[in-house]
Chain A
Amino acid sequence: MSFELMDFTSSILQKQAVNKILACNDFTAKYQLTLTIEQARELAETLSTTLRDNGRIDFSGGVVDKIIKNFCDSPYLNQQNYSETLNELTELFYYFKNQTLDRISDDDLIKWMNASFDNVCHGSLEMLAGTELERLARNLRYGYDPNYTEPQETEEENE
């Protein structure tokens, strides 16, 4: 009798997650964004795989519903890129949850991602991951303000 915690929670999580994701359609429909059952299942699978890859366990069906509700009013999302973007945002969220050493709450991390995606990144997931979230993670690890920006690169090199 052993508790393989990850396997055990993973199966529960997937069932919960699909229902939570589909329930979001009621909220996002006004932005002309919805997910099919297949897409919801795919997203739940991504959630499960991402958690496993990042060595994390989730107890409440994940944060995908929160990501959906925060991002659905983004000017850079449309029905064509909606599902794919949510999959990538889910992966980024858990990866950077680890990279920030859990020093930022779920809600704050999602808000940060959303604000960066809509503003400085102009809808670019590459820029969000490679620049903004990297900067956030580094600032939090060093105990700096999340918005701290390193001095100019040339100054850094001179030092």
Chain B
Amino acid sequence: MSNIERVSRIDALKLNQGYYFHSLLGAAYEKGMISESEIEKIQLDCIDLLSYKAKRYTDNNSSSLRVELAEYIMTSNLYTIGLYLKTFPVADDAVNALTEKSMLDLYLSGRKIIDSMINSAKRRYSLVIKSILDNNNQFYKPTVVSAIRGFFKKYNPDYGAHENIITADYPTCNPIEDITGIEFIKKYLDFIYAENMFCKHFFPQDIDALLCGVDNRYEALVFNIFEEVLTGAIGCVLSGQNPCTLNISAAQAAALCEQIYLKNDLQIEKDINRACEKLIPTLQITSRTLQSYIKASLPKIISHVCFMKKNKLLDRVFITPENTLKNPKFL
């Protein structure tokens, strides 16, 4: 009996994660789980919450706010409530919470979640700093180290909980979509940490050589280091080389490309998945989280390989490292 899952009338996966509150309320109304009068009551309660927050914002010195500011605080409030509503494993229960509890109660529960997420993100940030890659890409460290530090300084969970604050110029391999605020930063740090931990299995000079092979001026490019390293390592496995050095010769790379040109997309997908299955034990990656992250990154790599094959550009995917040793500290 313990395996029986409750069926939810609302499919939580179809809800907009960025505007969860609105999305849930809309879905509940569509399914007839909530009446118009209940929605009006919720709206009034939201205005009361906004009024409460506005008083605190102005230190009780002003009974009015500029519309833009009021909307901004309202967005923050609904984002915070949305975070709490997301914690319900069954979305229908979140709808019940909306109708049974006051918006202030829901907000305060969400606010506790934000505090806990901030602490968790800070802990993750310290791990990211410890695992930072020795790499001169102009977007990597400035985003991962400096910008994130700036986020923690400037983030205002009381009135701007939904704000990203930073632009996170350095991209993660797996895109982070729909979410904002601390939720985004937490996930961004989780992803960067996983990517760092993977790249830590290689020497910085090997990564540098591979990236120089990708582009001699890679320092100025906006791209994801992990993605190139994972692709390089998979290329090594597919060529029968040791992936630890990320090194395949020009001849080996050319031979690999020739092989791939003969395959269809399904075969390429199978080959890359199989190569990944070999790569993980070869690099002695035991962390389940990291294993999952690597596997989650494969569809993007597979799709890139198939796209480049179609356009006869595979020589730009599997790269021969260029040992120019541009970075004097590797000399």
Contact = CB atoms under 8 A, between A and B. Distances in A.
Contacts of B39: 1
B64 A6 contact: no
B47 interface: yes
Given A1-B25, A5-B74, A56 B43 contact: no
B54 interface: yes
Interface string A104-118: 011100000000000
Given A1-B22, A12-B47, A57 B70 contact: yes
A84 interface: no
A8 interface: yes
Interface in B13-46: 22, 25-26, 29, 39, 43-44, 46
A63 B22 contact: no
A21 B58 CA distance: 24
Contacts of B61: 105-107
Contacts of B64: 51, 56-59, 62-63, 94, 97, 106
A8 B71 CA distance: 12
Q: Which label, helix, strand, loop or mixed, suits the secondary structure of the A interface?
A: mixed
B67 interface: yes
Contact of A105 (B29, B44, B55, B62): B62
A56 B66 contact: yes
A55 B47 contact: no
Nearest to B53: A59
A107 to B, nearest CB: 7
A1 B26 contact: yes
Nearest to B63: A60
B65 interface: yes
Given A1-B25, A1-B26, A56 B65 contact: yes
Contacts of A6: 67
A58 B50 CA distance: 10
A57 B44 CA distance: 15
- Contact-residue bracket for chain A: 20 to 34
Interface string B56-90: 00100111111110110010000000000000000
Contact of B63 (A5, A8, A55, A58): A58
B43 A55 contact: no
A62 B63 contact: yes
Contacts of A56: 64-67
Contacts of B29: 1
- Contact-residue bracket for chain B: 20 to 34
A106 B47 contact: no
A2 B44 CA distance: 13
A59 B63 contact: yes
A3 B63 CA distance: 20
Given A1-B29, A59-B54, A98 B66 contact: yes
Contacts of A3: 43, 46, 74
Nearest to B75: A3
B62 A106 contact: yes
B62 A97 contact: yes
Given A51-B64, A102-B62, A59 B43 contact: no
A9 interface: yes
B66 A9 contact: no
Contacts of B74: 3, 5
B63 A63 contact: yes
Contacts of A106: 61-64
Contacts of B65: 56-57, 59
Contacts of A12: 44, 47
B51 interface: yes
Contact of B67 (A5, A60, A102): A5
Instruction: List the 5 shortest-distance A-B pairs measured between CB atoms, nearest first.
Output: A59-B51, A105-B61, A58-B64, A57-B70, A60-B63
14 contacts: A5-B67, A5-B70, A6-B67, A12-B44, A55-B68, A57-B64, A58-B64, A59-B47, A59-B63, A59-B64, A60-B63, A102-B58, A102-B62, A102-B66
Interface of B: 22, 25-26, 29, 39, 43-44, 46-47, 50-51, 54-55, 58, 61-68, 70-71, 74
